[in-house]
Amino acid sequence: MNAYSSMSKGKLEKMYRSVSAHYEICKTEGLKLNMARGKPAKMQLDMVSELLNVLSSPEDCMDDGIDVRNYGELAGIPSARRYWAEILDCKPEQTFTGGSSSLNFMFDVISRAYSHGLLHSPRPWCKEEKVKFLCPSPGYYRHFRVTEFFGAELITVPMTSEGPDMDLVEELVKDPQVKGIWCVPKYSNPDGIIYTDSVIKRFANLKPAAPDFAIMWDNAYCVHEFDGEYVPFPDIIRLCAEAGNPDMVYEFASTSKITFAGAGFSVMASSVDNIAYFTKLFSVQTISQDKVNQLRHVRYLKNKAHTLEIMKKHAALMAPKFNAVATALNEQIKPCGFAHWNQPKGGYFVSLYTMPGTAKRALELCKQAGVEMTPAGASYPYGKDPDDSNIRIAPSLPPVAELEKAMDVFCTCLKLAALEKLLAN
Ligand SMILES: Cc1ncc(COP(=O)(O)O)c(C=O)c1O
């Protein structure tokens, strides 16, 4: 097949008729398929469900002399803090282990920044004339929504294959109204990019005008390789300290995609001073986290080596799904020449860039044929992709056979939307 760009109008019309006919057949099949959400599949959840049996008696609930069934240890039980420190390569005293959601921690940091300020804030952010927040895009829409919720102006920073465009970031942070940046440094959502060492070093060495500038370092996919060996990752907290910015970074992670999504346990890691500051603030909000769940997890996951073994088992379930996506795109879309996509080795997403101006239309067609995708534009501030091109594919949830069917419909819709545009022009 030739690339669409080299086809005559007559050939495009013929192609359009053939793709439309296939689309109409897909529509009659009454499909109900979902590639919208980065959720683990049931098989992944079943695989780790031994977790439910770990604590079965009162004696099991003692840890380092602490009875986890009772109040206390607001920053988390020592074994849980040691666990995350090993995973993130930082120190236990730099961690605060929490409840089931890391997003909740991120929301809390921004919320406290607005209500009380961060450690070096001259005033709470709500008293600032204006707050601006940098959003490397495409990025994770829930991050953007948190800062939008509090009224910050969201500023798009383009992603490169090495991470966010750091020339632009270094320029933008000279504005004292720019208070922070969202980052998913390993297997970024949705592009699956691992920030390079040089980008990470430039982050640690930033010289923002705002004294309370916050790097929101969401390391959600820190151990989530599905293709190849574990990729070690630098400790941003140490790098920031060495660069003279000890309190600039807040790192987050959780076991949402290691054990149970939304029912695991999370961590915030930062300087000891930031952890002390936030422990004081959080003590107003809660007396204790769910330490029973923390202990259950530490006993089950044990340590980093054992966690990586479990991640290998997740990888065995995930890899065939990402392969199914790659196969469909390579066979059906690559020859048409109007789209490109990333092939990550970890994380939960494939990020595809289709013909500009056709992403929304393609996903509308998908919906009509019973395939649900993340809405077009969702990965950009305010939900608006200026090129109407990026689409996030989340292959983890459906079984492979369903995924193959969904990808066939998806590829058909991409083609149809592109052909409609070419013929309209
Ligand atoms: C980048 C990123 N951060 C955070 C989360 C949510 O994490 P949690 O369940 O710990 O709130 C997700 C979920 O998809 C994610 O992709």
- CATH label of the domain that carries residue 247: 3.40.640.10
Distance CA 177, CA 134 (A): 11
* Helix, strand, coil share of the chain (percent; to 5): 45, 15, 40
Ligand 1 centre distance from Cα of residue 260 (Å):
12
Ligand 1 centre distance from Cα of residue 252 (Å):
9
Which residues are CB-contacts of 73 (< 8 A; sequence separation ≥ 6)? 66, 288, 289, 291
Strand order across the beta sheet in which 95-97 lies: 95-97, 266-269, 249-254, 214-218, 178-183, 132-137, 153-160, 163-164
Q: Is the same domain home to 196 and 135?
A: yes
Closest residue by Cα to residue 232 from 200, 189, 265, 271 = 200
Task: Choose one of 253, 282, 303: the last residue of a domain.
Answer: 303
Quickly count: other Cβ atoms within 10 Å of residue 331's Cβ.
12
Ligand 1 centre distance from Cα of residue 181 (Å):
16
Q: Whose CA is nearest to atom 3 of ligand 1?
A: 220
Distance CA 103, CA 133 (A): 17
Q: At what angle do helices 304-328 and 400-424 cross, to 10 degrees?
A: 50
Q: Is the same domain home to 240 and 363?
A: no
Give residues (CB < 6 A) around ligand 1. 38, 101-103, 140, 184, 189, 218, 220, 254, 256, 262, 266
Task: Choose one of 259, 280, 303: the last residue of a domain.
Answer: 303
Tens digit of pLDDT per residue, the chain (425 long)?
679 999 999 999 999 999 999 999 999 998 899 999 899 999 999 999 999 999 999 999 999 999 999 999 999 999 999 999 999 999 999 999 999 999 999 999 999 999 999 999 999 999 999 999 999 999 999 999 999 999 999 999 999 999 999 999 999 999 999 999 999 999 999 999 999 999 999 999 999 999 999 999 999 999 999 999 999 999 999 999 999 999 999 999 999 999 999 999 999 999 999 999 999 999 999 999 999 999 999 999 999 999 999 999 999 999 999 999 999 999 999 999 999 999 999 999 999 999 999 999 999 999 999 999 999 999 999 999 999 999 999 999 999 999 999 999 999 999 999 999 999 98
**Could you tell me the residue range of the domain that residue 270 belongs to?**
57-303
Measured from the Cα of 347, ligand 1's closest atom is 16
The verdict on residue 86 lying in a domain is: yes
Ligand 1 centre distance from Cα of residue 103 (Å):
6
- Dihedral of CA 29/377/142/316: which sign? positive
Q: Is the same domain home to 105 and 207?
A: yes
The two most distant CA atoms of the chain are separated, in Å, by 78
| Partners of 158 in the β-ladder | 137
- Using most ligand atoms within 8 A of CB, pick from 96, 141, 142 the residue to mutate for ligand 1: 142
Q: Is the same domain home to 385 and 342?
A: yes
Closest residue by Cα to residue 84 from 68, 65, 98 = 98
- Using most ligand atoms within 8 A of CB, pick from 254, 257, 294, 297 the residue to mutate for ligand 1: 254
The answer to whether 114 touches 150, Cβ cutoff 8 Å, is yes
Q: Is the same domain home to 322 and 246?
A: no
Q: Whose CA is nearest to atom 6 of ligand 1?
A: 103
Dihedral (C-alpha) 288, 292, 294, 295: value to the nearest 10 degrees? 130
The answer to whether 420 touches 340, Cβ cutoff 8 Å, is no
pLDDT for the residue 328:
98
Q: Is the same domain home to 324 and 417?
A: yes
Quickly count: other Cβ atoms within 10 Å of residue 340's Cβ.
13
The verdict on residue 52 lying in a domain is: no
Cis upstream peptide for 211 (omega within 30°):
no
Pairing of strands 66-67, 95-97: unpaired
| Domain count of the fold of the chain | 2
Closest residue by Cα to residue 286 from 131, 82, 73, 125 = 73
Strand order across the beta sheet in which 390-393 lies: 340-341, 350-353, 390-393
Quickly count: other Cβ atoms within 10 Å of residue 222's Cβ.
25
The answer to whether 223 touches 148, Cβ cutoff 8 Å, is no
Q: Is the same domain home to 299 and 328?
A: no
Quickly count: other Cβ atoms within 10 Å of residue 153's Cβ.
13
Considering just the CA atoms, what is the radius of gyration of the chain in Å? 23
Ligand 1 centre distance from Cα of residue 419 (Å):
36
The verdict on residue 51 lying in a domain is: no
Helices (H), 249-345: 272-285, 291-301, 304-328
Q: Is the same domain home to 84 and 10?
A: no
Q: Whose CA is nearest to atom 2 of ligand 1?
A: 220
Ligand 1 centre distance from Cα of residue 278 (Å):
21
Q: Is the same domain home to 97 and 226?
A: yes
Confidence (pTM): 0.97
Q: Whose CA is nearest to atom 14 of ligand 1?
A: 38
Q: Is the same domain home to 13 and 67?
A: no
Q: Is the same domain home to 19 and 85?
A: no
Which residues are CB-contacts of 393 (< 8 A; sequence separation ≥ 6)? 35, 325, 341, 349, 350, 351, 352, 373, 410
Ligand 1 centre distance from Cα of residue 24 (Å):
36
Measured from the Cα of 348, ligand 1's closest atom is 16
The verdict on residue 50 lying in a domain is: no
Q: Is the same domain home to 38 and 68?
A: no
Measured from the Cα of 100, ligand 1's closest atom is 10
The verdict on residue 243 lying in a domain is: yes
Ligand 1 centre distance from Cα of residue 177 (Å):
27
Task: Choose one of 269, 303, 337: the last residue of a domain.
Answer: 303
